[in-house]
Amino acid sequence: MLAFEYIDTQSALDALVAKYQQAELLVLDTEFVRTRTYYARLGLIQAYDGQTLALIDPLAVQDLSRFWALLANPQIIKLVHSCSEDLEVFAHYGHCQPQPLFDSQLAASVCGLGHGLGYAKLVEQLLGISLDKGESRTDWLKRPLSDAQLQYAANDVYYLYQLYPMLKQQAEQQQRLDWVWEEGTRMTAGRLQQPDLEHAYLKVKNAFQLTSHQLAYLKVLAKWRLEKALARDLALGFVVKDHALIGLAKKQPRQLSDLLKMNDLTEQEKRINGRDLIKVMQSADLDNLPEPVDVLALKPGYKAAFKAVKNQLALICEQQNIPTEIFASKRNIHDFMQWHMDGRSKKLPLLLSGWRGELAKAPLLTLDLTL
């Protein structure tokens, strides 16, 4: 059984933060619930500095500001595993991002231990310890939490502390420690920005199918949906689904009776939001139409060019023993090709920047790509 402090009072949290201020390394994890909400609902925060393992109850402690400030302390290394969702939690609840950041999953990946390794798998691989994952589906908002649930949460930071020197040493030996720090900086960049209401329509699936005239309607619809989702803390799809927005933009019903005949919307969407949707569509600015969404993948030479880039990157990954998923993802290739199509004049894509650029810049820029 692991010993831990359960932090459920302000005085206990303040004392904990004072201890952690002296730490060189702080392991972090969060437990949350997300079903229908836009933001994850935070249920527990785990932290460990090698001496004090703490389980912080955010439902009991109202003011976490000193703890959030701790995460921004550049003198303390923050250690996490597969941190994308944790970073969302820190941004929303703490308006902060941990720096400097060391992601153990990322470190294992660039060191050739395997891509996307789960925490339990990595612990078993490096420490030879099998962790019980029986509490992985816990409702972390329910109180009180059982002893088994608390032990499960404590395990998530206790063994991660032990993994750090092993992963750091391997990264140093392979001269890839700078890659891990660089990725930590990249993963936290831009997370404190507010959702972009004006360009929400660009994230609607199949927006490229629409004309400029139709996009004008989609733009106001997507903005309305995002505002509604944020106000009600509701996942976008539980306000109105993407394909319904596309259908509305294409058919442009002028009155409620027209909307009620559409098959694109569910009966619930019609009942709850029908009148609002008609009103929103009437606000579309048809005098200043959006630019058509240019889909690079539809261009005649795209498939051949994509394959050429992918093959070149696969060769680099094989030579360097780097998983293609982290280095040559479809998104990374697409962004490079978009940059190439735009005349190579805009901001360098990820494949040509930092440690990736050191490996891929020369080979990629010599490719003969025709789009």
Residue 72 has pLDDT above 80, yes or no: yes
pLDDT for 154 equals 97
Q: Which of 54, 65, 72 is nearest to 12 (CA)?
A: 54
Q: Do domains 5-188 and 200-281 have the same CATH topology?
A: no
pTM for this model (two decimals)? 0.92
Give catalytic residue positions.
29, 31, 86, 152, 156
The pLDDT of residue 295 is 80
Pairing, β 53-56 against β 5-7: parallel
Exposure b/e, 344-371, CB count within 10 A at least 16 = b: eeeeebbbbebbbeebbeeebeeeebee
Q: 32: number of CA atoms within 13 Å, CB side?
A: 20
CATH among 1.10.240.10, 3.30.70.270, 2.60.40.10, 1.10.150.80 for 200-281: 1.10.150.80
SS3 140: coil
| pLDDT, position 134 | 73
Residue 175 is classified by DSSP as: T
Average pLDDT over residues 166-191: 97
For 11-67, how does the pLDDT look when each residue is reduced to its tens digit (9 = 90+)?
A: 999 999 999 999 999 999 999 999 899 999 999 999 999 999 999 999 999 899 999
Contact 245, 321 (CB under 8 A): no
**Residue 138 pLDDT:** 85
Fold type of domain 5-188: Nucleotidyltransferase; domain 5 (3.30.420)
What band does 294 get if pLDDT is binned at 50, 70 and 90? Answer: confident
Q: Which two tokens stand for residue 5?
A: 């402090």
pLDDT value at 204 more than 80: yes
| Mean pLDDT, rounded, of the chain | 95
Locate tokens 């010599």: which residue?
A: 366
Q: What's the mean pLDDT in 114-143?
A: 91
| Class of domain 296-365 (CATH, top level) | mainly alpha
How does pLDDT run across 325-337, given as a tens digit for each residue? 999 899 999 999 9
Gyration radius from the chain CA atoms: 24
How many angstroms separate the CA atoms of 75 and 22, rounded? 9
Give Cβ neighbours of residue 174 (< 8 Å, ≥ 6 apart): 110, 111, 112
CB 97 within 8 A of CB 121: no
Structure-token match 């629409």, residue found: 210
Average pLDDT over residues 308-323: 95
Q: Which of 75, 76, 68, 58 is nearest to 97 (CA)?
A: 68
Question: pLDDT value at position 160?
Answer: 97
Question: How do the domains of the chain map onto residue ranges?
Answer: 5-188, 200-281, 296-365
Q: How confident is the model at residue 371 (pLDDT cuts 50, 70, 90)?
A: low
* DSSP secondary structure letters along 185-231: HHHHTTTTSPP-STTGGGGSTTGGGS-HHHHHHHHHHHHHHHHHHHH
